Structure 1
């Protein structure tokens, strides 16, 4: 099942790799080359059409077509899969439902929630869970928040456009910036009202030149506290985007915009030259919200899909961060828990409530827990951290509590939106059908500069020999070979396993340091999101490459790899130490043929903090990649 938004685009590679000879479109028309059977109309009408297409069935599941009972429909959907029964949506259309049941010949009709038509009535969550447990040996739990289908309650919007021009000549020597002409920074005032507001900012340099204009932006509240920040390396070519929530923190905010145009390199000692003489545009949108509720990726509707495939069950929770109570807890703040440590106790309480519910329904047979949702709707737990500041973020966000005291394997199934998430699920569930070619035997190792060489010497070079013994064709990319242009030219990402060890951040692999112009040659989100790679496993032992809290999902390097086609991404949500090697996970998958979630669990049993907390999996924890 692939979601689409009007046209077939990012789905085409999956369709081609799957070798499909036809499509079934539900809900809307799709322009497709392949033959396509369409079921068009609103949801209620489509359910009746599909039931008619179904033919005969001795069972049917009737669900309420109601926002108030959407959570019941989400958790009850697997029943239809297990009984090979069509789903009928009830919206006061009793005659239509009875007629459809009669045509099906169904004598086992399961009514969900307030639906009056049925032979078996499951009126609440507990009854649905008990029923599923009675017909299935549940091994997999997909935990989600159905409230993500309700968008933010926007009550008004103010849009402000600025035009700026920057002229600056700057020399950087030994990390010291010397402005020879002008300054590299422009500032703008932004009026943010009281109440709850969503602030979105786009900075754009239209001019094209011999070198890219690299933009960095920071937003400060009226008290001078940083709210959020971003870079064009994270978003798109010469475009910088930010998205933040302000809760009753009114005032005159300040936007700082810096532009670099030239060359820049180094890590411990920066050097560079910049010549800027260009105009740029800033668009600021301030949306007034009736409540803090802010889902980033509405994907709860996909939870039954992954759960049913794995003989599982959906656990519905309403313990989001941005609920009504958050308006009081976060009063006077902007940004979120990532840069306001005082909010993390509340966030952790929400996680604990969800975990308590998972434990209630997780029997001894459960092996995997999939967290299906973004960090607003399905929060991470914040452990105390020692390496933290306004830019790195406070605390260590983690999905460890979902491992139920390290007794089950867990992963977070998430991509930038619902379309991407459906593709991520598809790559995992139909991996054997879509995976073919020599790339499946390839194992790429990349190590970074700036003491990242130790990872190459002590892990990657020796482990490449181990991987070769298990049938992999290995390649290692280190100093002078680890820049983005070199990796692209060498097809380094055309591999089953892609491992990176070195410096990193939430928007790039900071591997190429020694060159005079290394900053524009990094593997960053703005480039990776435009790649087309195989359903690879991307493993990183680097700081922050798994961070998604407090940033737009489309700017995360992990989400960029998933958008590009990866089947799984492993990274750290905060800074890690030298203990961040990946050998335990790799041994588990390659030598013991475990799923990637089980491999992560094995590594957490031996890892030390902060890696034990920070390392996270984006992907299906039951996904088991190919080994030769």
Structure 2
């Protein structure tokens, strides 16, 4: 990385990590790359498929009364997970890009993006689940297609909440038993149901799956972390073990504003952004701006699918485009909000430069530089996946 001749840091080399549980996994990864063309010829239409997945709890608003109540209980100062439409438009935008690139795209929203759904909940008993039919209707095996879509896709984009050993699409909607008005309170463990665990993409489930040599981009916190952790406990290495050929994910906590525009009456709450974004898309064919990891994901995918670049070059180019695009964007917040370096003096210095309330907008450059560096490629950076637009 160099900034001698550029205003923002410029990554010069394509970087990827050939990793795995052991040398056998690394050898298998290299073999899949070398014999990729032969492998995909045996997979039929798979090479033309892509999937775009967005989960629950990715959007934030400052909901009158509810946000105040939640912060009184938690002692924090955070917005509330509440629908704004931001993740929906991210899904639609990347879906459009992939379709324009010649892929057959299956996109899913909210609970449909989970890995698997419930079945026969009535047998569990109403003592534990009061409304089993409601849960099966929104998160049953007939309503959930995320895991199947991933296994059947060459290019995979997913936007969810996660950690180094899992990510989940159910999140707050399942923890609130499917009733959004209760999402504020279900953030606290004694109010949550834990039902979101059923559909998680976790190490145990992925390592026992069979994937084709896909490219996966996960926009989520910490999913790409491997430092200081046994590889058998990391989701990135489980995906490689299962057959994925390239995976990009963040190694640390990644940020996202979770809203489209500040509200008109209550700042930080309202449907103004959603209405404007919908009208612009319908009337002008314009999508709202994306921020943070979504910007890198979009350019990474486009550089591969339309630019015929390798995964390593595509990620390099996407990172070099990121700050010029997003550096001047301002936000009221970029959850997750809690921040610490481990040093109280440094924490105070950083906090003094941040907006002092959720009503004051800031550029949050610390999180933008963080975003620039945290997305990591696992797999051979010279791997060039099949693109329908280019026919190879």
TM class, shorter-chain normalised?
A: 0.5 to 0.7
- Is the 8 Å Cα contact of residues 106 and 149 (structure 2) preserved in structure 1? no
Instruction: Provide the residue aligned with 2:201 in structure 1.
Output: 523
- Is the 8 Å Cα contact of residues 455 and 501 (structure 1) preserved in structure 2? no
SS at match of 1:475: strand
Instruction: Provide the residue aligned with 1:613 in structure 2.
Output: 373
Instruction: Provide the residue aligned with 1:580 in structure 2.
Output: 293
Q: Distance in 1 between matches of 2:31 and 2:148?
A: 28
Instruction: Provide the residue aligned with 1:479 in structure 2.
Output: 110
1:598 pairs, out of 272, 296, 313, with 313
Between stretches 412-421 and 604-613, larger displacement belongs to 604-613
SS at match of 1:484: coil
Instruction: Provide the residue aligned with 2:382 in structure 1.
Output: 622
Q: Distance in 2 between matches of 1:480 and 1:543?
A: 19
**1:439: how far off?**
1.0
Instruction: Provide the residue aligned with 1:419 in structure 2.
Output: 24
Q: Distance in 2 between matches of 1:540 and 1:531?
A: 18
1:450 corresponds to 2:57:
yes
1:538 pairs, out of 212, 216, 226, with 216
Change (3 A) 1:539 1:471: same
Instruction: Provide the residue aligned with 1:438 in structure 2.
Output: 45
- Is the 8 Å Cα contact of residues 546 and 573 (structure 1) preserved in structure 2? yes
SS at match of 1:432: helix
Instruction: Provide the residue aligned with 2:280 in structure 1.
Output: none
- Is the 8 Å Cα contact of residues 570 and 617 (structure 1) preserved in structure 2? yes
Q: Distance in 2 between matches of 1:586 and 1:484?
A: 22
Q: Distance in 2 between matches of 1:489 and 1:545?
A: 17
Q: Distance in 1 between matches of 2:149 and 2:321?
A: 34
- Is the 8 Å Cα contact of residues 112 and 146 (structure 2) preserved in structure 1? no
Cα deviation, 1:274-327, whole Å, max 9, x if unaligned, reads: xxxxxxxxxxxxxxxxxxxxxxxxxxxxxxxxxxxxxxxxxxxxxxxxxxxxxx
**1:448: how far off?**
1.5
Instruction: Provide the residue aligned with 1:191 in structure 2.
Output: none
**1:595: how far off?**
0.5
1:512 corresponds to 2:170:
yes
**1:455: how far off?**
5.3
Instruction: Provide the residue aligned with 2:155 in structure 1.
Output: 497
Q: Distance in 2 between matches of 1:543 and 1:488?
A: 19
Cα RMSD, aligned residues only? 1.9
List runs of 5+ in structure 2 lacking aligned partners.
2-8, 60-82, 117-143, 178-194, 257-291, 323-367
Structure with higher RCO (Cα < 8 A, 6+ apart) = 2
- TM-score, length basis structure 1: 0.35
SS at match of 1:480: helix
Structure 1 segment 21-170 matched on structure 2, within 5 A: none
Cα deviation, 1:575-615, whole Å, max 9, x if unaligned, reads: 11121111110111111100010011012113332111111
- Is the 8 Å Cα contact of residues 444 and 493 (structure 1) preserved in structure 2? no
Q: Distance in 2 between matches of 1:455 and 1:583?
A: 15
SS at match of 1:411: coil
Where is the helix percentage greater, Structure 1 or Structure 2?
Answer: 2
SS at match of 1:584: helix
Instruction: Provide the residue aligned with 2:12 in structure 1.
Output: 407
- TM-score, length basis structure 2: 0.55
- Is the 8 Å Cα contact of residues 53 and 108 (structure 2) preserved in structure 1? yes
- Is the 8 Å Cα contact of residues 455 and 502 (structure 1) preserved in structure 2? no
SS at match of 1:609: helix
Q: Distance in 2 between matches of 1:605 and 1:488?
A: 31
- Is the 8 Å Cα contact of residues 483 and 511 (structure 1) preserved in structure 2? yes
- Is the 8 Å Cα contact of residues 447 and 455 (structure 1) preserved in structure 2? no
- Is the 8 Å Cα contact of residues 540 and 570 (structure 1) preserved in structure 2? yes
**1:461: how far off?**
0.9
**1:464: how far off?**
1.2
**1:463: how far off?**
2.3
**1:425: how far off?**
0.8
- Is the 8 Å Cα contact of residues 53 and 146 (structure 2) preserved in structure 1? no
SS at match of 1:474: strand
Cα deviation, 1:406-434, whole Å, max 9, x if unaligned, reads: 11111111011111110111111211111
**1:569: how far off?**
0.7
Instruction: Provide the residue aligned with 2:289 in structure 1.
Output: none
List runs of 5+ in structure 1 lacking aligned partners.
1-354, 356-403
1:561 corresponds to 2:276:
no
Instruction: Provide the residue aligned with 2:98 in structure 1.
Output: 467
Q: Distance in 2 between matches of 1:588 and 1:489?
A: 25
- Is the 8 Å Cα contact of residues 52 and 94 (structure 2) preserved in structure 1? no
- Is the 8 Å Cα contact of residues 443 and 474 (structure 1) preserved in structure 2? yes
- Is the 8 Å Cα contact of residues 529 and 563 (structure 1) preserved in structure 2? yes
Change (3 A) 1:447 1:489: closer
What count of residue pairs does the alignment treat as equivalent? 226
- Is the 8 Å Cα contact of residues 111 and 169 (structure 2) preserved in structure 1? no
Instruction: Provide the residue aligned with 1:193 in structure 2.
Output: none
Structure 1 segment 67-466 matched on structure 2, within 5 A: 406-436=11-41, 437-451=44-58, 454=85, 456-466=87-97
Q: Distance in 2 between matches of 1:430 and 1:586?
A: 22
- Is the 8 Å Cα contact of residues 595 and 625 (structure 1) preserved in structure 2? yes
